Amino acid sequence: MRALTLELTAFGPYREEQRIDFTNLGDEPIFLITGPTGAGKTTIFDAICFSLYGKASGTDRDQDGFRSHFANLSELTSVSFTFVLHQKMYRVIRSPKQQKPKARGEGYTEEAASASLYVYNHDQQWELIVSKIKDVNETIEEMIGLDYEQFKKMIMIPQGEFRKLISENSKEREEVLQKIFRTYIYKDITEKFKEEAKSLKEQLEKLDWQYQQELEKLPDETIDPDSNKKVKVQLEDRYHKLEEQKVSLNKELEQINNQLTMFQEQYYQQKKLVDYFLEYEQLIEKQKQLQLKQKEIDRLQEKLELAKTAEKIKPVEELMQTRKQEWHSQQQIFENIAKQQKEMQVLFEQSKVKYEEEKKKEKERESLQFQLKEQQQLLEKMDEFEAAGKELNKLNETIKKMQEKQTLLENKIKELEKMKETSYEIRDKIHESDSILQQLKHELEQQQRKASDMEDLKKEYRELLVLRKDYQQYKNVVDKLQSEADVQAKRCEQLEKDRKKHFASHLAASLQDGDACPVCGSIHHPDLAKIEDASISDEMIETETKYFTTLQEESKEMQMTLLQIKEQGEGKKQIVKRLIQSLDMDMEQVTKEQLQQVDASILGSIQKNKKETKKHYNKMQELQNQFKQIQTAMQEYDRLKQEQARIQETHQEKSKDYHQLHAKYAQLKAQLPADVESPAAFKQQVNSLEKELNMKIQQWKDIQAHYEKAIEDKNKAETKYQESKQFTTQLQQKYEEQEEKFNLALVNYRFASISEYKQALLPFEEQQEIENHISQHGEQRNVVESRLITLTELVKDVEKPDLSKLEDKMANVEKDKDEKNKQVQSIVFHIDQLIATIRKTNELEEKMKEIKDDYFHIGELADLARGDNTARLSFERFVLSTFLDEILLQANMRLDQMTDHRYQLIRSEELAKRGAQSGLDLEVLDHYTGKKRSVKTLSGGEGFKAALSLALGMADIVQAHAGGVQLDTLFIDEGFGTLDEVSLEQAIKCLKELQQDHRVIGVISHVAQLKEEIKAKLVVEASHTGSVAKFKIG
């Protein structure tokens, strides 16, 4: 970007319009802005910065102070800046918010801030690009390639900020370089690596926990922690052993099933014979019951036959009733027709009287026709007068409407001007509301995550409490069963001892003196055992042993269940612990009441946030709607202005036409007859006469038509009456003939009376029911008789078998089968559990292997990217350090000239202390001493040289890296006063060499030597009426 012209009006100390033409510099690469303190030198920089970004060049000045105190309120503040960028010429015009006199009346109104951006097109005309402040700001920032902060760092370095380029610490320098080179993407990449590594680590921990949980579900003897075999091999060995046990038990079960099948076949044959005997006895009894019902069946058969006979007469009866109904219906119709015939005769007589009376009024109608013809001839002469009057009224109405519309337009234009001022205030409020909403949205997301974690915590904590309670209950049961099993074991042991004593006493009783003992072989028996208790039997010992085994199995099952509950409890405890840590709570102090309090607090915060969000959202929506309405309304402003001018022109034309037509109307009115009040009144009189004549003619036509219709209706009614009378007689004859047929049918089918016929009739459903009943009785009788013949042959000479003995044998075999099935099911359960565990652990091992491979690479990248490396250099800082190295390379080329080859800026390689990031600290190498030292040890003049070199080097690198960015101009405010004569000459020489890159340097300084060295000067002179600025070359 290269400055061309700067125009100021009522800006800062400049009251009169100032036009600063930078093209006057010619080939001079550097110019000096000189003048007394407070005259307005820095204000020139402020004006350029304000025109581009709407802000001042320094941090201690704001745009509200741009208004000149020398200017009158009628002189409005504005800045116009023309510059060249990418071979195109642009002009930006900007005004701050300010007071101005009202267009009408006394007082002042606020003029809103405005901005416009133009381009010089091929037609050598200034073409508007954008005209809204936001659009202008965004367009300029995109064109130049620098935002406000970057512009200050790279092009316009204000007072007090020049030294910061060299004296800022590592963190501040990082922020500056981040803004200039926009390296936030590298920081985002680092965060992405960090989040992904954290996620992979959590997945590994979760999978390892799941792996251990799967192993803990198995019985304790399944896995031997002291074995050298892998867990996978031990699980497979255990699986093969269980499979062998299952095969052995299945063989035993197959033998039991074969034995049971044999018993079942025997039982089936004997049970079948017993069923034959039972069925034979039941059928004998049923045969007796069927014989008792035969009389009732015969009576129903007779009733059914009589009903079927009556059913044959029913169609004749129904036809007779139909004929009777038709006759009665026609009689009612005939009576109605006779009544209508009498009414038609009366109407005919009345119509005939009216017809005769109206016929006598023919002469009266002819007289009215003659009168109407005369008045119509006179009316034709008044049409022209009436037309003129209507046109005159129409013009008058049009003029009034134009006046009203003109007044309405003026009011609308005033309202739009007020709305334009309001829109700027609304826009600021919208930005403020949007910022608040973004903050509330961020807070709501955090609160909702906490609420979700709290819901999970409450659910998991409740389940953990239930598991703890179940664990205690099952533990009590296990302890009780274990105690009972111990007691039972001692009892079995004691019974075994007692039985052995019992065997010894019986053996002693059978020994004779001199016989050898079958136990020890001795023939001497000095202390023979005595018989004490003969009540212990093998059955008793077996019963007690089975009870002991049952107790052991129940205890083992309970222990398995207890182990599962413990595993689930440990899993729940880990989940609860993780959720509590995410909510910043203490695991040891968590209670149900505390959870409710924290939950209520979180929900309260969410409700409060939503309420506040809704409030601000509604407010912003309302403001946006207002702003849109205003913007939509403002689009009408220019159109309304044009409409206002067009209406004024049309109003003048219509007024001229009105006066011409009014003169013609007065001339025609003088020609009207004296007895006619007005053309409208006369026309109304003619219309009334015409209506009266038409009414009389129409009345005569209506009476004629009515009379003719009355004659026609009377004749039709007479004909209809005769036809209906004849049809009624015919229907009566048909009914009487059908009644005769019905009575003859009763006689033919031997019914003595109609009542006897009615009683014989049965509904179709009842007939069907009787027929079905008779049919079922016959079928049952045939089935019983046939089956009895078959069963008599089957049970003949056969004894009824006894099934109880065979059932006892089958029950014993079934019991053995159930025992074996339980053992098989137990083994199958453990095999299924083992297979599921093997499959699940294999899946978990595969997943852990995949995630470990990913974590090895991602974790390493994450550590390197965040600076966990020997250089303590993050990924973003590494990129920034690369940019800084390039900047220092360019800067040292100029610093070497300005310091007589003494100083060189270098990036420090020392590691930062206390875990801080390294890579952006600056040091200076003093070639006189050959040692490095901090840049903060440089004197004021040396620091200025270093800062100036750094600024110029940064401009070179930014222009090289940022495509489209052109840094053709640099403004420096103060700083040269710290240099001695030699250093000043070196600095000026370095700046002048920038001419090779076609750059222009503007310098503000009070140093006298600069005035001598720099030919081009922009002189600012102050006075009591305001400052004046102009170029002086040479």
For residue range 596-624, list pLDDT tens digits in order.
788 888 888 888 888 888 888 888 888 88
User: In this structure, is residue 201 part of a structural domain?
Assistant: no
265: amino acid identity, one letter = E
With pLDDT > 90 as the criterion, what percentage of the chain qualifies? 3
Do residues 957 and 890 make contact, with C-beta atoms less than 8 angstroms apart? yes
- Same-domain check for residues 371 and 399: no
pLDDT digits (tens, 9 = 90+) for 188-210: 888 888 888 888 888 888 888 88
More confident residue, 640 or 912: 640
Residue 19 is predicted with a pLDDT of 92
CA distance 401 to 408: 10
* Domain boundaries, position 1025: 2-155+968-1033
Confidence band, pLDDT 50/70/90 cuts, at residue 85? confident
Helix axes 184-216, 804-865, angle to 10 degrees: 150
Q: Which has the minimum average pLDDT: 343-352, 632-641, 787-796, 903-912?
A: 632-641
Q: Distances from the Cα of 560 to the Cαs of 508, 565, 825, 840, in angstroms?
A: 49, 9, 16, 20
CA distance 748 to 360: 78
pLDDT digits (tens, 9 = 90+) for 820-863: 888 888 888 888 888 888 888 888 888 888 888 888 888 888 88
Other CB atoms closer than 10 Å to residue 868's CB: what's the count?
12
- Same-domain check for residues 320 and 368: yes
- Same-domain check for residues 434 and 336: no
CATH of the domain at 949: 3.40.50.300
Sign of CA dihedral 301, 307, 311, 313: positive
pLDDT digits (tens, 9 = 90+) for 132-157: 899 999 998 888 877 787 777 777 66
CA dihedral 34, 37, 40, 45 (to 10 degrees): 70
Rg of the chain over Cα atoms, rounded to whole angstroms, equals 61
- Same-domain check for residues 28 and 109: yes
pLDDT digits (tens, 9 = 90+) for 374-426: 767 666 666 776 777 778 788 888 888 888 888 887 888 777 778 877 877 78
Number of residues written out for the chain: 1034
Instruction: Please state, rounded to an integer, the average pLDDT across all residues of the chain.
Output: 80
Structure tokens at 626: 């207002």
* DSSP letters spanning 779-803: HHHHHHHHHHHHHHHHHTT-PPP--
User: In this structure, is residue 872 part of a structural domain?
Assistant: yes
Do residues 114 and 54 make contact, with C-beta atoms less than 8 angstroms apart? no
User: In this structure, is residue 324 part of a structural domain?
Assistant: yes
Residue 194: strand, helix, or coil: helix
- 687 phi and psi angles, rounded to 5 deg: -65, -40
Checking if the pLDDT of 118 tops 90, the result is yes
Do residues 966 and 1004 make contact, with C-beta atoms less than 8 angstroms apart? no
Residue 94 is predicted with a pLDDT of 92
- Same-domain check for residues 876 and 962: yes
- Same-domain check for residues 560 and 444: yes
Checking if the pLDDT of 92 tops 90, the result is yes
Q: Which residue(s) pair with 20 in the sheet? A: 6
pLDDT digits (tens, 9 = 90+) for 60-76: 555 566 788 887 777 88
User: Quick one: DSSP state of residue 11?
Assistant: B
893: amino acid identity, one letter = M
User: In this structure, is residue 342 part of a structural domain?
Assistant: yes
- 631, 650, 666: which is the final residue of a domain? 631
Confidence band, pLDDT 50/70/90 cuts, at residue 500? low
Do residues 945 and 972 make contact, with C-beta atoms less than 8 angstroms apart? no
User: Quick one: DSSP state of residue 993?
Assistant: G
Do residues 803 and 267 make contact, with C-beta atoms less than 8 angstroms apart? yes
- Same-domain check for residues 434 and 452: yes
Structure tokens at 598: 């924290």
CA distance 652 to 647: 9
pLDDT digits (tens, 9 = 90+) for 558-568: 888 887 888 78
240, with CB counted inside 10 A (0-12, 13-18, 19+), is exposed
CA distance 296 to 409: 109
Secondary element (H or E) of residue 856: helix 804-865
Residue 529 is predicted with a pLDDT of 57
Comparing C-alpha atoms, which of 126, 118, 146 is closest to residue 49? Answer: 146
Mean pLDDT of the region 72-92: 88
Which residues lie below 8 Å from residue 460, measured CB to CB, with a gap of 6+? 572, 575, 576, 579
User: In this structure, is residue 300 part of a structural domain?
Assistant: no
- Same-domain check for residues 588 and 725: no
- Same-domain check for residues 747 and 802: no
User: In this structure, is residue 522 part of a structural domain?
Assistant: no
- 704, 730, 760: which is the final residue of a domain? 760
Checking if the pLDDT of 989 tops 90, the result is no
Confidence band, pLDDT 50/70/90 cuts, at residue 716? confident
Sign of CA dihedral 873, 875, 881, 886: positive
Angle at 656 between CA 650 and CA 662, to 5 degrees: 130
Residue 966 is predicted with a pLDDT of 64
- Same-domain check for residues 981 and 1011: yes
Residue 539 is predicted with a pLDDT of 76
Do residues 844 and 892 make contact, with C-beta atoms less than 8 angstroms apart? no
User: In this structure, is residue 654 part of a structural domain?
Assistant: no
Comparing C-alpha atoms, which of 14, 24, 37, 7 is closest to residue 1031? Answer: 24
- Same-domain check for residues 929 and 999: no
Confidence band, pLDDT 50/70/90 cuts, at residue 940? confident
Residue 505 is predicted with a pLDDT of 60
Secondary element (H or E) of residue 240: helix 231-292
* DSSP letters spanning 28-45: -SEEEEE-STTSSHHHHH
Checking if the pLDDT of 587 tops 70, the result is no
Q: Which residue(s) pair with 926 in the sheet? A: 903, 931
Q: Distances from the Cα of 263 to the Cαs of 812, 817, 818, 975, in angstroms?
A: 11, 14, 16, 119
Structure tokens at 239: 């699986």
Residue 822 is predicted with a pLDDT of 84
Structure tokens at 331: 């009689």
Helix boundaries (H) for 932-1007: 940-961, 981-992
Residue 755 is predicted with a pLDDT of 82
Secondary element (H or E) of residue 895: helix 875-898
CA distance 1019 to 1032: 7
CA distance 551 to 484: 7
User: In this structure, is residue 287 part of a structural domain?
Assistant: yes
Mean pLDDT of the region 577-581: 78
CA dihedral 110, 111, 114, 116 (to 10 degrees): 180
User: Quick one: DSSP state of residue 570?
Assistant: H
Checking if the pLDDT of 964 tops 60, the result is no
Residue 395: strand, helix, or coil: helix
Most confident of 20-34, 355-369, 514-528, 683-697: 20-34
Residue 79 is predicted with a pLDDT of 93
- 863, 894, 927: which is the final residue of a domain? 863
Secondary element (H or E) of residue 870: none
Question: SS3 for 72-126, per residue?
Answer: CCCCCCEEEEEEEECCEEEEEEEECCEEEECCCCCCEEEECCEEEEEEECCCCCE
Checking if the pLDDT of 976 tops 90, the result is no
With pLDDT > 70 as the criterion, what percentage of the chain qualifies? 87
Residue 506 is predicted with a pLDDT of 53
- Same-domain check for residues 31 and 123: yes
Sign of CA dihedral 581, 586, 590, 596: negative
Most confident of 190-194, 653-657, 680-684: 190-194
Residue 380 is predicted with a pLDDT of 66
More confident residue, 154 or 921: 921
Do residues 927 and 903 make contact, with C-beta atoms less than 8 angstroms apart? yes
Question: What total of structural domains would you count in the chain?
Answer: 5
Other CB atoms closer than 10 Å to residue 1027's CB: what's the count?
24
**Could you identify the residue written with the tokens 């001229």?**
656
